């Protein structure tokens, strides 16, 4: 699937989001693990504390028992020192131990049991010592011998061992938990890093592919452009060649058509000379021998031959004008155009000035309405275009009303358009296209002309890169609109006639 910009953007966003989420997860995991480790460290310290307190309690109880045994054996007061120290220390140590066990996560039960047992032991010690102090050492030793104190002491040892072993178990459990979490985190981190790596590789790949697609698309566009330019150049060259061919053809044809015409005209004149001689002969014959002159001979020499010569002459003259027109068009098509800035107002005013005589004769008036946009193009061609259009407007006015010819212009989007509008006789809609063809004319044929002017105007307008159109209502007037580029196009001056 080729990547478009939107798909690429979405994919990149998604990949970035995934990578970011993985990193976020990894960070959260780390925070969690640090917290776990801290909990573990606290646990280790608590266990250690419990152990210390346990051995302290045991050693105090043993000290108390050792003091009691020493006093009972010797009767000397100095052996009571450890006992007395222990009895003062124990009430402080045992609550601390309880507190510690609770903090370590242990049950209060066994510690309570331990406290009870310690009290029982201390009570037993107190009683035996009291008996001994009263002087009844025998009773005190008997009491010890009964083994009640030993039993209590054994229970104490068991309870202490139980508390310690449970604390150790808890520590082991915690340690295992920490191990598991760190392993899980390690796996999670590895996963996240893997994901990040995949995302990185994926987005790099995606970007690479996208860049590749872009590059390929650019190359394609470039190739297409190059091909297009080439094709345009080819077509232009072909068109130019075809146009040149047409121009050359028109030129050669008009030359070659003229040569026989010279003969037709020349020998027609020779005929006239000959007829003149015949005419003289006829007059002489009529004067001297009228019976020789037949009506047919007279008719032929005085009427038929001159009439025939007249038709031949007018036809050849007309044909010569047509050929000259073709020749002129062909020559105009080959003329090199020289673009220059042209002040349109002045140009139209100049044309109006040169037609002043015709305008006055027709009782017509030419006005330029508003200001006309100035353009850069071939001045001579422009003069011919507008000269022809205005000349036509003057030529085909309606005698029923005073002639009004107006020229307006505007510029938009690189094009200038000029309207030459008249209130003349107008042109039938079916002729709007036809009048631009060579030798075609419209309406009443009461004015001199060969049907060349508008064909010439259109050829020129197209050569300048523009066009000319006609809009007209018979009996109301005509508008000829010339559209031209404001500045010459790159193909300026190529033959498009």
Partner 1 sequence: MNTAAHAVTIVMIEDDEGHARLIEKNLKRAGLFNEVRHFASGTAALHHLLGPGRKQHRPLLVLLDLNLPDMSGTEILTQLKDDPELRLAPVIVLTTTDDEREIRRCYDLGCNVYITKPVNYETFAQAVRQLGLFLAVIQVPPAP
Size of the site for partner 1 (CB under 8 A): 18
Q: Which of 23, 319 has the CB closer to partner 1? A: 319
Q: Cβ of residue 456: shortest distance to partner 1, in angstroms? A: 17
CB of 313 to partner 1, least distance (A): 8
* Residue among 140 and 250 whose Cβ is closer to partner 1: 250
Query: Closer CB to partner 1, residue 38 or residue 331?
Result: 331
Residue 176 CA to chain centroid, in angstroms?
A: 59
Q: Residue 164 or 320: which CB sits closer to partner 1?
A: 320
Q: What is the DSSP letter of 397?
A: -
Q: Which stretch binds partner 1 (CB under 8 A): 155-163, 267-275, 414-422, 445-453?
A: 267-275
CB of 257 to partner 1, least distance (A): 9
> Shortest gap between Cβ of 302 and partner 1 (angstroms)?
21
Residue among 97, 145, 102, 143 nearest 117 (CA): 97
Q: Which CB sits closer to partner 1, 328 or 356?
A: 328
Contact with partner 1 (CB under 8 A) among 31, 259, 289, 296: 259
Residue 164 contacts partner 1 per CB under 8 A: no
Pairing relation of β-strands 404-412 and 365-368? parallel
Q: Select 268 or 467, whichever has its Cβ closest to partner 1.
A: 268
Residues 6+ apart with CB under 8 A from 460: 332, 381, 384, 385, 497
Pairing mode, strands 477-485 and 415-422: antiparallel
Exactly one of 10, 216, 255, 283 binds partner 1 (CB under 8 A); which one? 255
Cα separation, 348 vs 443, in Å, equals 27
Binding mask 331-370 for partner 1 (x = CB under 8 A): x---------------------------------------
**Residue 39: what are its φ and ψ, rounded to 5°?**
-55, -40
Q: Which two tokens stand for residue 43?
A: 């646990």
- Which residues, numbered 282-321, are part of the site for partner 1 (CB under 8 A)? 316-317, 320
Cβ at position 497, least distance to partner 1 in Å: 17
Instruction: Choose which of 230, 270, 286, 437 interacts with partner 1 (CB under 8 A).
Output: 270
Whole-number Å distance between alpha carbons of 17 and 11: 10
Sheet holding 467-473, edge to edge: 365-368, 404-412, 415-422, 477-485, 467-473
Nearest Cα neighbor of 29 from 155, 184, 206, 152 is 184
Which of 221, 232, 262, 277 binds partner 1 (CB under 8 A)? It is 262
- For the chain, the C-alpha Rg in angstroms (whole number) is 65
Q: How far is the CB of 418 from partner 1 (least distance, A)?
A: 30
Token couple for 431: 């002729």
- Residues 168 and 100 sit within 8 Å (Cβ to Cβ): no
- Provide the minimum distance between the beta carbon of 379 and partner 1 in the complex, in angstroms, as a whole number: 19
Distances (CA, A) of 10 to 7, 16, 17, 90: 5, 10, 10, 73
- Which region, judged by CB under 8 A, interacts with partner 1, from 121-129, 186-194, 203-211, 266-274? 266-274
Name which of 219 and 269 has its Cβ closer to partner 1. Answer: 269
277 CA to centre of own chain: 91
- 256, 284, 286, 369: which one contacts partner 1 (CB under 8 A)? 256
DSSP tag of 434:
G
Residue partners of 32: CB distance under 8 A and separation at least 6 = 181, 185
Count the neighbouring beta carbons within 10 Å of the beta carbon of residue 295: 7
Stretch that binds partner 1, among 108-116, 228-236, 251-259, 432-440 (CB under 8 A): 251-259
Q: Can residue 483 be called a binding residue for partner 1 (CB under 8 A)?
A: no
* DSSP 3-state of 44: helix
Give least dist CB 394 to partner 1, A.
Answer: 28
Task: Choose between 255 and 356: whose C-beta lies nearer to partner 1.
Answer: 255
Among 75, 266, 370, 433, binds partner 1 (CB under 8 A): 266
- For residues 324 and 235, give the distance between their C-alpha atoms in angstroms, rounded to a whole number: 31
Give the shortest CB-321-to-partner 1 separation in angstroms: 9
Under rule CB under 8 A, residue 261 binds partner 1: yes
Q: Compute the residue count for the chain.
A: 497
Q: Which positions ≥6 away from 177 have C-beta within 8 Å? A: 36, 40
Task: Please give the residue ranges that form the binding site for partner 1 (CB under 8 A).
Answer: 255-256, 258-263, 265-270, 316-317, 320, 331
């Amino acid at each position: 699937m080729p990547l478009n910009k939107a798909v690429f953007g979405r994919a990149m966003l998604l990949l970035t989001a995934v990578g970011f989420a993985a990193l976020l997860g990894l960070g959260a995991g780390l925070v969690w693990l640090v917290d776990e480790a801290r909990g573990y460290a606290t646990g280790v310290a608590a266990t250690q504390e419990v152990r210390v307190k346990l051995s302290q309690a045991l050693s105090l109880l043993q000290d108390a028992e050792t003091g009691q045994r020493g006093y009972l054996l010797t009767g000397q007061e100095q052996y009571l020192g450890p006992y007395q120290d222990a009895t003062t220390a124990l009430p402080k140590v045992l609550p601390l131990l309880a507190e510690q066990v609770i903090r370590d996560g242990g049950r209060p039960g066994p510690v309570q049991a331990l406290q009870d047992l310690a009290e029982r032991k201390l009570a037993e010690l107190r009683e035996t010592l009291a008996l001994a102090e009263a002087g009844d050492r025998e009773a005190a030793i008997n009491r010890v011998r009964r083994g009640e104190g030993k039993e209590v002491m054994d229970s104490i040892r068991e309870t202490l061992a139980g508390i310690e072993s449970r604390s150790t178990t808890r520590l082991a459990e915690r340690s295992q938990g920490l191990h598991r979490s760190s392993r899980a985190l390690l796996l999670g981190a590895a996963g996240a890093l893997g994901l990040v790596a995949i995302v990185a590789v994926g987005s790099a790949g995606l970007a690479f592919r996208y860049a590749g697609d872009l590059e390929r698309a650019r190359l394609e566009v470039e190739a297409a452009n190059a091909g297009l330019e080439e094709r345009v150049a080819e077509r232009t060259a072909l068109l130019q060649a075809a146009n040149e061919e047409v121009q050359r053809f028109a030129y050669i044809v008009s030359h070659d058509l003229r040569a026989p015409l010279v003969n037709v005209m020349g020998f027609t004149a020779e005929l006239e000379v000959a007829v003149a001689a015949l005419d003289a002969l006829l007059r002489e014959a009529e004067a001297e021998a009228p019976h020789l002159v037949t009506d047919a001979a007279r008719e032929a020499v005085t009427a038929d031959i001159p009439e025939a010569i007249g038709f031949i002459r007018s036809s050849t003259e007309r044909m010569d004008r047509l050929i000259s027109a073709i020749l002129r068009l062909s020559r105009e098509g080959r003329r090199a155009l020289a673009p220059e800035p042209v002040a349109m107002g002045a140009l139209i005013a100049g044309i109006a000035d040169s037609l002043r005589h015709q305008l006055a004769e027709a009782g017509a008036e030419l006005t330029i309405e508003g200001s006309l946009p100035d353009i850069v193009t071939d001045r001579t061609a422009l003069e011919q275009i507008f000269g022809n259009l205005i000349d036509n407007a003057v030529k085909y006015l309606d005698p029923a009303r005073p002639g009004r010819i107006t020229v307006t212009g505007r510029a938009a989007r690189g094009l200038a358009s000029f309207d030459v509008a008249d209130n003349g006789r107008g042109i039938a809609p079916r002729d709007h296209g036809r009048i631009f063809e060579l030798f075609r004319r419209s309406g009443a044929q009461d004015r001199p002309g060969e049907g060349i002017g508008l064909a010439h105007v259109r050829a020129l307008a197209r050569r300048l890169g523009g066009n000319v159109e006609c809009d007209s209502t018979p009996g109301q007037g005509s508008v000829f609109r010339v559209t031209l580029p404001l500045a010459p196009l790159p193909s300026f001056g190529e033959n498009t006639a």
